[in-house]
Structure 1
Amino acid sequence: MSHAAAALLALTAGLTLSGCGDGATESPVPLQGLSVQGRTVSTTATVGGCGAARLTSRESESTVSLALKVRSTGKEGQPCPTYIARLQISTTLREPVGHRSVVDATTRATLRPPG
């Protein structure tokens, strides 16, 4: 199963099980693609009608670790629109990536080798 299919399945299962409107439970999702421009790192996230995504980073001298999390933003007892959208999500680093490696915090996969 591809990472995209697994992420979509996890998102769909999470929204189905949560009923969309039962609070802000956050789930980690593997990163799909990556864009780096200066200090800005972007990826895409698949979210449902009552979904939101955020990309966070942890930086060291040798590594930038990125975590993509998707959560339901629906209110309990209220229905969510039935659609799925791909959104561009970004985070700003303290320093440009430079010669550091970029790692997906969810899968531990190296997304961009050092250099």
Structure 2
Amino acid sequence: MTEHPAVTQLDALAGDLLDQARTTSAKRTARTLVTGSSLRATLIALAEGSELAEHDAPAAATLQVVTGRVQLYTSEHEQTVENGQLAVIPPLRHGLKALADSVVLLTVALR
């Protein structure tokens, strides 16, 4: 298992990841901050207009927008989540689109 620091300075890391995302062909990058037997937390940077295509949802997860604005969507619903907001990810296939340069913290319950 990879060791992760007990405390992460999100704003500084968010800026670094966003700079990286702007230069990649996919226009996104991520870093896992916490892993364990029951929880995973991943910081994801998305340049404006980039997207995580629809994918299956974990049993329980939240998405916190650290900076920017994203659209969380399913086949039946879409929701804009902005800087400082936390959303529950529905237990359905879903996708995520960056409406502005954005960094989100994805927290997933693994059990």
Fold shared, TM-score > 0.5 on shorter chain: no
* TM-score, normalised via structure 1 length: 0.31
Which structure has the larger Rg over C-alpha atoms? 1
